[in-house]
Amino acid sequence: MAASDKDKELHQVQSKIKTVSGNLSRLKQQQDDANRELKRIEKQYGEISRTVQQLSAQVKQKQQRINEIQKELKVQNHWLSAQKSHLAGQVKAAYALGRQEELKLLLNQKDGSRSSRIMTYYQYFNNARLDKLQRINNSLELLTTLEQEKQLERQQVADLMDKSQQQQAQLKETAAERKTLLIKIKKDYQNNTSQLSRLKKNEQKLKRLITSLQQKLPDTELPAQSKQPFHTLQGSLPWPVAGKIIKSFGSQRSDSQWDGILLKAQEGNPVQAIAHGQVIFSDWFKGYGLLVIIKHDKNYMSLYAFNQSLYKEKGDWVEAGDTIATVGKSDGREDASLYFEIRQKDKPLNPIKWCKKR
């Protein structure tokens, strides 16, 4: 083959390489854009989900108060009816006591002691009637107040329900937006080699984050009133969420292994801290979605990933059993689950050996 033909072939190959490199560059940019968009959507989804739950709790409280008011109204109406009946009886008794007016009784001098006695009884009945009337007026005022409060509570419930419906509609739109984006990302990552590379990079990023956080731990001491030392809690820690273990510690994960466990749980279920500690990370992290990391002392920390919503912020102190997040599908996962790790400095530990027997 002539040298000119070789030069021509070389130029063609170089042109193809340039085209492929350009495509790869564009694909990488698209993937980066998609990941940024996924982060935004999933954080928004988490915030809306938390708002919907809070609105639901407020509506429940308002409904309970309305039920209490209804009971109070029933009690007051029953009491008012009884008081009206008693008042009618007092009026009849006063009438039976004597139809003479108070002035006539004063002018009646035939039997002074009898007149005095009747006047005393008359005064007793009159005072009793006035007292009864005052109590009835007070009850009527209370009924009016209760009725007004009931109407106000009902209006607030209606407003909360309307706001909740708006939030749920927005949640639905966000979920649809997320689904569309996930389809796009899934197409971008159909190549297994690319997916493996991504997992390894994310894993290395998390390790670097943990190392960075660990280096800062000695600078921040736990409070003097800190609970039982973490290392003494081995075998007695609560699980962060009830769920089936679908990926065990050390099991195969593409070309690496799981440094924690993956628990299958219903989306929206509360994720609880396993022990006293301070939140040192609470944000979206590539490869792990909405992530919470809690330090328990200078050597130990726990990680909770793929959450739907985050309930604690960096710097917050938590106790065992406190809700720190809710189970989700963040980082583009198709099924709801919680990824859970316990680490001693940089070393991952098997949570099964630290948490209570299931």
Give pLDDT, residue 1.
47
Give pLDDT, residue 225.
47
Give pLDDT, residue 315.
94
Q: What is the pTM of this model?
A: 0.59
One-letter amino acid for residue 71 of the chain: K
Q: Helix 3-97 to helix 112-188 angle, to the nearest 10 degrees?
A: 170
Give pLDDT, residue 112.
53
Q: What is the DSSP string of 111-132?
A: SHHHHHHHHHHHHHHHHHHHHH
Considering the domain 8-188 in this protein, what is its CATH number?
1.10.287.620
Identical fold between 8-188 and 192-354: no
| Superfamily for domain range 192-354 | Glucose Permease (Domain IIA) (2.70.70.10)
- Decide: helix, strand or coil at residue 84: helix
Give pLDDT, residue 3.
43
Q: Contact, 128 vs 40, CB < 8 A?
A: no
Q: Contact, 39 vs 290, CB < 8 A?
A: no
* Nearest Cα to Cα of residue 240 among 274, 263, 264: 274
| Bridge partners, 247 (sequence order) | 262
Q: For 16, what's the count of Cα atoms within 13 Å in the CB-facing half-sphere?
A: 5
Q: What is the largest CA-CA distance in the chain?
A: 156
Convert 29-57 to b/e letters by CB count within 10 Å (16 or more is b).
Answer: eebeebbeebbebbbebbebbbbbbebee
**What sign has the CA pseudo-torsion 258, 260, 265, 268?**
negative
* Nearest Cα to Cα of residue 228 among 276, 273, 294, 278: 276
What does the domain layout of the chain look like in residue ranges? Answer: 8-188, 192-354
- In angstroms, rounded to a whole number, what is the distance separating the alpha carbons of residues 141 and 146? 9
- Decide: helix, strand or coil at residue 244: strand
Q: What is the pLDDT along the chain (358 residues), one digit of tens a residue?
A: 444 444 454 455 445 445 545 555 666 676 677 678 777 877 877 787 787 788 778 878 867 877 887 787 777 777 767 766 766 666 665 555 555 445 455 555 455 565 566 556 556 656 666 666 666 666 667 667 767 776 777 787 777 777 777 877 777 777 777 777 767 666 665 554 455 555 556 666 676 777 777 666 554 455 544 568 999 999 999 999 999 999 999 888 766 788 999 999 999 999 999 999 999 999 999 889 999 999 999 899 999 999 999 999 999 999 999 999 999 999 888 899 999 999 998 899 999 999 998 7
- In angstroms, rounded to a whole number, what is the distance separating the alpha carbons of residues 202 and 213? 16
Cβ count near 283 (within 10 Å): 13
Look up residue 258 and give its two tokens: 């799981």
Give pLDDT, residue 238.
97
Cβ count near 107 (within 10 Å): 9
Give pLDDT, residue 97.
53
- In angstroms, rounded to a whole number, what is the distance separating the alpha carbons of residues 167 and 169? 5
Give pLDDT, residue 234.
94
